Structure 1
Amino acid sequence: MTRDRDKRGMFTELTTAEAVIKVLEASDDPVMTAKEIADHLEVSRDTVGRKLAQLLEEEKVSQKKVGARAVVWWIQD
């Protein structure tokens, strides 16, 4: 899959932090994995991971490691 570039030659965003928040808000589950969010948005887990890291820095989401490699995410109160 080739990605579009903007006028400056930069790759266009595949998703936004706001889209990640909307998926978390719409979920019936209290927590979600990056993979689950990525599946909803039809983007890679890495793409969602970058947005989640941004949201974590902005203190809009929280995370918890729940297994050897599993991490769950939720919207901060």
Structure 2
Amino acid sequence: MSQGRDDAGRFNETVSDQEILKIFDYEDDPVLTAEEVATGLQRFDVQLTTEGVRRRLQTMADAGLVSRKTLGARAVGWWAEVAPELGIETEAVVDERADADEWREL
């Protein structure tokens, strides 16, 4: 999955907020730079520039999904304020096991 352009030359938004939020779950550090988020997306074959990630994170911050803090003269750290939604299959398994006495890995 990557960003493409429409017939007018504008970028199509093909990376969902959920995909970006998942990167925060995959990393050990809860606070990430835009560059670290871009690198995390690349692991899932999603190509988005650091500047593109920065713009998306700002839009997500305006919606209350992430927050930011200036860490230095040019460094900004971002963290998720909400968890990504579970996939349909995972949600079904969690619901199925909700009343179970024993839990195992999904």
Same-fold call, TM cutoff 0.5 = yes
What 5-or-longer segments of structure 1 have no aligned partner? none
Calculate the TM-score normalised by the size of structure 2.
Answer: 0.60
Larger radius of gyration: 2
Query: Could you say which residue in structure 1 is the equivalent of 2:66?
Result: 61
Question: Tell me, which stretches of 5 or more residues in structure 2 are unaligned?
Answer: 43-47, 83-106
Distance across 2 between alignment mates of 1:39 and 1:14: 17
Name the count of aligned residue pairs.
75
RCO (CA 8 Å, sep 6+): is it higher in 1 or 2? 1
TM-score for the superposition, normalised by structure 1: 0.79
Query: Is the Cα–Cα contact under 8 Å of residues 15 and 41 in structure 1 kept in the other structure?
Result: no
Q: How does 1:1-77 map to 2 (within 5 A)?
A: 4-6=4-6, 10-42=10-42, 43-76=48-81
> Matched residues, percent identical?
37
Classify 1:4/1:58 alpha carbon distance in 2 versus 1 (closer, same or farther; 3 Å).
closer
